[in-house]
Amino acid sequence: MAKKLHLEILTPEARLISDEVEYVACPGILGQFGILGDHIPLLSALGVGRLDHRTGHKEGSFFVSGGFVEVRNNKVVVLAEVAEAAGEIDVERALWAKERAEESLYYAQTESDVERAQAALGRARTRLKIAGMSIK
C-alpha cells in the first residue's frame, strides 16, 4: 500500500483541506511537480495552476495562485495566497474575468498594463480549465 501524506491547503481566509492522500501534484513556480510518500524535504514557491491530489480512486483538484508549499515528514503544507476547490470555482465569474482581461490586453498601453492583463487572463483560463470548461 502506498505511503500516506498529510495534505493541508491554507489560505489567509480558510483551511480548504486537511486529509490523508497518496499523491499530490503542485503548480511550482518552475512548473508542475509530483509528491509521493517519503519525499525529501522541500520548500517551493507556487505559481498559478492546478493542484491535484489522489488517494486510490479518489481524486480532487484545486486552483492555486501564489504562496508556498512545504514538504516535510510526509506532510504537504500549502500556504496559498488564493485557492479554490475545483467545485467552488464560479464559472460565470471566471468567464467575465477572462473577457475583461482580453479587453485590457487589447487596450494595454504600458508594459505593466500588459503584464497585469496577462496575469488576470492566466488566472481566468486556469480556473476555467480546472472547472472542466473547454476554452479558446
Q: What are the residues binding ligand ATP (CB under 6 A)?
A: 65, 82, 84, 88-90, 93-94, 97, 120, 123, 127
Question: Alpha-carbon distance 90 to 97, whole Å?
Answer: 11
- Minimum distance, C-beta of residue 94 to ligand ATP, in the bound complex (Å): 4
- Minimum distance, C-beta of residue 33 to ligand ATP, in the bound complex (Å): 22
- Minimum distance, C-beta of residue 120 to ligand ATP, in the bound complex (Å): 6
Residues with Cβ within 8 Å of 48's Cβ and at least 6 positions away in sequence, in order, are 27, 64, 65, 66, 119, 122, 123, 126
Query: Closest CB to ligand ATP among 53 and 123?
Result: 123
